[in-house]
Amino acid sequence: MIPPAQNAEFVAHMEQVLDVYKRPYNEDFPVVCMDESPEQLIETVKEEAMEPGRDARVDYEYIRHGVVNIFMANEPLKGKRMVEVTNFKTKVEWAKFIKRIADEMYPQAKRITLVMDNFGTHTIGAYPFIWMNLHLDLTENYFID
């Protein structure tokens, strides 16, 4: 449930995003969804294989090998995606991934529309980290709260 004080703001953002998703496909103006997720790196300690008449068994114990960040960019109307694993989740890593999207996925695009969540690293303050020859329309980012 959306808190009453945030209903109008949430609905306004949602309507913007839905309008973006209704755009027809245009390779010069791709619409790209971008997100990231922290993931634990774990190793199973004990696992018993299946045998006839007995299910496989996995012990609850594991060895933790740290955490990584997974960035993903997806262009739903084209079926393209890009994934990158980084050790950190900072503005610098985010900006480098955005640059990689532009340089590797859409080098010929006239403008790239990004749809992403409203995470703290997705701010105008991160843009100086992106090399300024980037063909990304920084005024057209859509945030999902």
Q: Which domains does the chain have, with CATH numbers?
A: 4-38+69-144 (3.30.420.10)
CA–CA separation, 34 and 94 (whole Å)? 10
pLDDT digits (tens, 9 = 90+) for 36-68: 899 999 887 777 777 888 887 777 788 999 999
pLDDT digits (tens, 9 = 90+) for 58-98: 777 889 999 999 999 999 999 999 999 999 888 788 888 88
Q: Which of 74, 89, 87 is nearest to 120 (CA)?
A: 89
